[in-house]
Amino acid sequence: MNESVVLVNSMGNMVGTCEKLQAHQHGLLHLAFSLMLVRKTEHGFEHLLQQRASDKYHSGGKWSNACCSHPREGERLDSAVKRRVFEELGVTHLPNPEYVGAMTYKASLDNGLTEHEYDHIFVQYCNDDDVALSPNPDEISATRWVSEQDIKAELSQNPHSYTAWFADLLQRFVSAREQKPTHDA
C-alpha cells in the first residue's frame, strides 16, 4: 500500500498528505467519500451492499455501502467517486451521483487501526438496468440488494457484521432523504 490520503482540518480543508496506512495507524483526519447505490421498489428503498474482501487491510469480510474510498490529491470528488466505483464494482457508467452532505467520524478498528474521516456522501438512484456490476474480487467478496428495513434489523441484531462507519452513514443518508420528501428515485 503506497497510496496517500489528503489530510484535512475539522472544516474539511486540506492541510497536507500522508501515506494511507500511516494515517490509519495514527487516526489522522483525512478526506473520504462514500457512495450509496439506491433503488426504489414498491416496498421502499433498497441499497446495494458490498462485503469487503476478507484480506483488505481493515474491515475485511464486513458489509458496507456500495463504494467508499479516498480522493487523490488534486482529484475532484465526483471524479474520485466514478474512478473508485469502477475499480471496486466495475461500474462503467455512473450517470450523475447526487451530493448528500458530509460527516466526520472516528472509529477504532479491530486490527489496531483508526478510521478518522471527513466523509463526503453521494447517492446514485438507479433502476435494475442502470448499473451493471462486475465486482473486483480483490476488493469485494459479495454484493446484495437489501431493503432499508432489513438493513436496520441486521444492524441492531449483528452490528459487527458491518463496517464501523456504516450505521452512521445510513442514518445521515436517510435523514437527508427525508428532508427532501419529493425526491423521485
**Domain residue ranges of the chain, discontinuous segments joined by +:** 33-100+121-178
Alpha helices in 90-185 (DSSP H): 148-157, 166-178
Active site (annotated) includes residue 68: yes
Say which residues have a Cβ less than 8 Å from residue 74's Cβ, sequence separation at least 6.
none
Quote the mean pLDDT of the chain.
Answer: 93
CATH domain 33-100+121-178 topology: Nucleoside Triphosphate Pyrophosphohydrolase (3.90.79)
pLDDT at 11 over 90: yes
Average pLDDT of the residues in 148-157:
97
Query: 2 falls in which pLDDT band (50, 70, 90)?
Result: confident
Spot the catalytic one: 42, 73, 117, 126.
117
Give which of 80, 53, 77, 76 is closest to 64, Cα–Cα. 53
Active site (annotated) includes residue 126: no
What is residue 139's predicted lDDT score, i.e. its pLDDT? 96
Q: What is the pLDDT of residues 58-104, one digit of tens each?
A: 999 999 999 999 999 999 999 999 999 999 999 998 888 999 999 99
Query: 130 falls in which pLDDT band (50, 70, 90)?
Result: confident
Q: Is 47 annotated as a binding residue?
A: no
With contact defined as beta carbons under 8 Å apart, do 53 and 138 qualify?
yes
Q: Is 117 annotated as a binding residue?
A: yes
pLDDT at 136 over 70: yes
For the entire predicted model, the pTM comes to: 0.92
Query: 180 falls in which pLDDT band (50, 70, 90)?
Result: confident
Q: Give the separation between CA 145 and CA 155, rounded to whole angstroms.
A: 15
Q: Is 73 annotated as a binding residue?
A: no
Share of the chain above pLDDT 90, in %: 84
